[in-house]
Amino acid sequence: MTGPTDDVRPRRRSWLNRAIAICFAIALVSALIGFALPRIAGADMSEILTVLGGLSIGAIALLAFITVVNQLVYAMIIRTVLPELSIAKALVVNLAGSAVSNVTPFGGGAGAAVTLAILRSWGLTTDKTVSAITIAGIWSILLRLILPALALPLLLVSNIASAQLIIVSLIGTGIAIAIAAFIVFVMNAPAGLSAANTVGTLIERLSRARLHKSRIVAWIERVRETTRGLLAEKWLPLTLWTIALYATQFSILLTSLRVLGVAESAVSVPEALMSFALARLIASVPITPDGAGFVETGIASALIGFGGDGLDVAAAVLLYRGFTYLLEIPAGGLAALVWAGMTSWRQSPDPDAPNGGDATGGD
């Protein structure tokens, strides 16, 4: 016979593991940015901060404008897969989810869970939200993987592409092709049903029959059909908006470099683009939230390797990450307050909707 303490212990262990992971991530990020980054730049952190302190109001305003455009582009990605949402709702759900992802180790899953919870509170069904989140996430990953290959021809024209960069580009493109092939495979009816049955059997065993295979398979099939319909209808606008998302993010990096004195003669646009592409690949490794620490040191190493001054590059990288990473945390907190306060936006998912329900059979 089990008592109340049997359920409490796993929860305590879970919270303890989470706390340890957060403390480890904070220590790792602090070490990478506080010690490794200045070492790579060949400068003290005080010198880097002094350079940042000399930034003009006009430069800050320009970066803020590009950042707002970047967030609006992301909102349009969400609206592409969930046209029911207004721009305001899309901004709220994106910022709130991003804030959680940016403060939690392996935060992509936590951010997706927050996004799902907010969307369900607005009346969207689990099937549709899961399909939308999955498609938007996959499209972002695919472009992230092929970014080095997109930057490579520009470097080849300039005769500055190394063998290492060519290898990274080929590996990223190969992984992207493999993911795309897997998506096509899963979207195929017989293969998809077979995969759904395999997943359903596995989840039923892991849940000790609390989740029934038949319900899981039925839910996966509904999600797959919804996803297939979305892909057929929205793949082109989704691709264009995702490209625009990375273009605006790259613009923030390039502007950060230029306003802090890293000229075209030191780091060209193709070199900056390749550095940005490598940084987005590094951010995919979920050791720290959004690759914090690793992205800063990785992109600085690439830019300095291309010829940028260490001090100016380090300051520019921190400026870039301030606008694309740190700023999302308080903005996400504000978005969460808006979500909590806008009770008029709330409604329950329609249980009779064609794509309603979840894997357990309830809402």
d(CA 349, CA 121): 8
pLDDT of 184 reads: 66
117, 115, 100: which is closest to 22 by C-alpha? 100
Tens digit of each residue's pLDDT (9 = 90 or more) over 44-80: 999 999 999 999 999 999 999 999 999 999 999 999 9
Handedness of CA 337, 68, 118, 97 (dihedral sign): negative
The backbone region for 114, taken as left when phi is positive above 0, alpha when psi lies in -120 to 50, beta otherwise, is alpha
Amino acid letter, residue 291: G
pLDDT of 264 reads: 92
pLDDT of 291 reads: 86
Look up residue 31 and give its two tokens. 């070490």
Directed axis angle between helix 57-81 and helix 126-157, to 10°? 130
Q: CA–CA distance from 326 to each of 67, 323, 329 (Å)? A: 12, 6, 6
Report the half-sphere exposure of 74 (CA within 13 A, side-chain side). 23
Residues with Cβ within 8 Å of residue 351, at least 6 apart in sequence? 357, 363
- Residue 122, beta-bridge partner list: 347
pLDDT of 355 reads: 45
Is 204 within 8 Å of 212 (Cβ atoms)?
yes
Burial of 268 (0-12, 13-18, 19+ CB in 10 A): middle
Look up residue 127 and give its two tokens. 């099937």
Check residue 151 and report its DSSP letter.
H
Question: How many whole angstroms from its chain centre is CA 90?
Answer: 15
d(CA 127, CA 230): 12
d(CA 91, CA 93): 6
pLDDT of 279 reads: 87
pLDDT of 362 reads: 43
pLDDT of 360 reads: 45
Q: Which residues in the chain show pLDDT less than 70?
A: 1-15, 106-108, 158-165, 168, 182-223, 226, 349-363
pLDDT of 309 reads: 94
Q: What is the pTM of this model?
A: 0.82
pLDDT of 112 reads: 84
Check residue 357 and report its DSSP letter.
-
Instruction: Report helix, strand or coil for 347.
Output: strand
pLDDT of 356 reads: 47
